[in-house]
A and B are shown apart, each in its own frame.
Chain A
Amino acid sequence: MSDPSSINGGTAVAMVGKDCIAIASDLRLGNQSLGLANNFEKVFQFGDKTFMALTGLASDVITLKETFRLKNNLYNLREEREIEPQTLANLVSSTLYEKRFGPYFIGPIVAGLDSKTSKPFICGFDLIGCIDFAKDFIVSGTATDQLYGMCESLYEPNLEPEDLFETISQALLNAVDRDALSGWGAVVYIVTKDKVVKRTLRTRQD
């Protein structure tokens, strides 16, 4: 009950397809069992094709969103280019490990396409910054267990963008329906070489 990472609820997932990636989150913000808002997005964009999802304690989600915006903006000014997903992953890792003995209670996901090679990249982290590189999918949040089940059964490699959208949406929707702390709508980003598409999903409102 007083576990900081499950006070507010919320879930996110990322998947790799054929020359594309998808990253999605639910929209719920709660205070224990009480729902507060159904517009709390947990996916943030850093540059053209680099994304990060943050689940866990909402206060830390906001703090880290702002911290990474600051670090990313300074990176852009210094380097005069946009950050790569790989670079962001290492930035997240070192930023979290700085707080090794008083961590942020979050579970980040980084996903994107490399600006030069357009190679898909996804990874997840634990709360102190250990990177979990994956070839297929990464899950995070209060519906982690349910998401693993859904992803294990629905995921297949080399999906086209439209099929990847369907797969990630079904995985997320059916996982959050079995979690009392997640849901209340969802957002999905589909990232391909030439464009980024954002879709909002309507879900059950209970």
Chain B
Amino acid sequence: MDIILGIRVQEGTIIAASKAATRGISILKDTDDKTRILNTHNLVAFTGESGDTVHFTEYIQANIQLHTMRENDLELSPSAVASFVRNQLATSLRSRKPYQVNVLLAGYDVKTNTPTLNWIDYLGTQTELPYGAHGYAAFYCSSLLDRHYRTDMNIDEGLKLLDDCLEELERRMPIDFKGCYIKVVDKDGVRDITK
């Protein structure tokens, strides 16, 4: 029931991730951050089996940072990060115990000055999208985003659309997900703009 949502706009990519950490019928925490920063222009948001999620994303984070160090501070581009993550999940899928982790990767390619949003599920299905979500949020928000998304949106318009999505989710989801952390990845890197 965790929510992660992403919208790509002209100057960057916006990510929203719910704050609630749930287990069974209980909410354990209302300040759970389901995102990790991989490098200056790449942010990953995740949902899935608890335990797997944090372990997997922190493993990815460590490997991306190791690559940065080895390549004297040359950071991997968003598409390279997405391919790497996809490959890890696809390999894991055929292991004894696959990681059950779905991710959204928000990135900004500093070489081409383009923002990206990559959708990857635990099977290793990867696609570059203008907007996307995992889990139930996808069912509630897809049609809303199809109707109101424009390719020429700026950050403020993107945030307004995101608010509409979150309002819909608050109205329709059966449990309180305690609001969302909202983060933006653009030419200046990753920043938290949670209200």
* Same complex: yes
- Seen from chain A, the residues whose Cβ lies within 8 Å of a Cβ on chain B are 7-8, 29, 31, 34, 36-37, 40, 57-60, 62-63, 102
How distant is the Cα of A59 from the Cα of B99 in the complex, in angstroms? 14
Given A34-B142, A36-B119, A36-B132, decide whether A59 and B93 contact each other with a Cβ distance below 8 A.
Answer: yes
Residues of B in contact (CB 8 Å), total: 17
Say how far A61's CB is from chain B's closest CB, in angstroms: 9
Which residues on B sit within 8 Å (CB–CB) of A40?
127
B113-163 contacts to A, CB under 8 A, are 119, 121, 123-127, 129, 132, 138-139, 142
Which residues on B sit within 8 Å (CB–CB) of A37?
127, 129
CB-nearest residue of chain B relative to A34?
Answer: B138
Which residues on B sit within 8 Å (CB–CB) of A60?
90
Q: How many residue pairs at the A-B interface have CB separations less than 8 Å?
A: 39
- Seen from chain B, the residues whose Cβ lies within 8 Å of a Cβ on chain A are 86, 89-90, 93-94, 119, 121, 123-127, 129, 132, 138-139, 142
How distant is the Cα of A29 from the Cα of B121 in the complex, in angstroms? 13
Say how far A76's CB is from chain B's closest CB, in angstroms: 21
Which residues on B sit within 8 Å (CB–CB) of A63?
90, 124
A102 touches B127 (CB 8 A): no
CB-nearest residue of chain A relative to B134?
Answer: A31
Which residues on B sit within 8 Å (CB–CB) of A58?
123, 125
Q: Can you identify 15 A-B contacts, CB atoms within 8 angstroms?
A: A29-B127, A34-B138, A34-B142, A36-B119, A37-B127, A57-B125, A59-B86, A59-B89, A59-B124, A59-B125, A62-B86, A62-B90, A62-B124, A62-B125, A63-B90
How distant is the Cα of A8 from the Cα of B125 in the complex, in angstroms? 9
Say how far B26's CB is from chain A's closest CB, in angstroms: 28
Which residues on A sit within 8 Å (CB–CB) of B123?
7, 57-59
Which residues on A sit within 8 Å (CB–CB) of B139?
34
How distant is the Cα of A70 from the Cα of B174 in the complex, in angstroms? 47
Which residues on A sit within 8 Å (CB–CB) of B94?
102
